[in-house]
Amino acid sequence: SQQGEEDPQALSIQEGENATMNCSYKTSINNLQWYRQNSGRGLVHLILIRSNEREKHSGRLRVTLDTSKKSSSLLITASRAADTASYFCARGYNFNKFYFGSGTKLNVKP
């Protein structure tokens, strides 16, 4: 797409394993946000990383940002069945614009 890609499109792992999903972008961003969407709770904000940050943590989530490669990764450690959802990155541009990617569908098998 014009704004970048997310990969993989789908990921299936066992409970307890780690899950990594990636987000690329094409033009300079102000920040990048990760959201989760499942049928129970809709779209929910997980974490924001600013363009001058390289890594952020929130509980079992770890986000990295590599501006030289124009990419970000979301790592979920010790996954649980409840982490089954689609994960989207939203690229923030020009201080007030967002573009969501097509997401990664994560399935965590119990």
Partner 1 sequence: EAGVAQSPRYKIIEKRQSVAFWCNPISGHATLYWYQQILGQGPKLLIQFQNNGVVDDSQLPKDRFSAERLKGVDSTLKIQPAKLEDSAVYLCASSDTGSAFDEQFFGPGTRLTVL
Can you give the binding site for partner 1, defined by CB under 8 A? 30-31, 33, 42-45, 48, 50, 88, 90, 92-103
**Considering beta carbons, is residue 15 or 98 the nearer one to partner 1?**
98
The half-sphere exposure of 59 on its side-chain side, counting CA atoms within 13 A, is: 7
Beta-strand pair 61-66/55-58: antiparallel
**Considering beta carbons, is residue 103 or 108 the nearer one to partner 1?**
103
How far is 28 from 51, CA to CA, in rounded Å? 9
Q: How far is the CB of 15 from partner 1 (least distance, A)?
A: 25
**Considering beta carbons, is residue 5 or 15 the nearer one to partner 1?**
5
Q: How far is the CB of 16 from partner 1 (least distance, A)?
A: 28
Rounded to the nearest 10°, the torsion over CA 30, 85, 106, 1 is -40
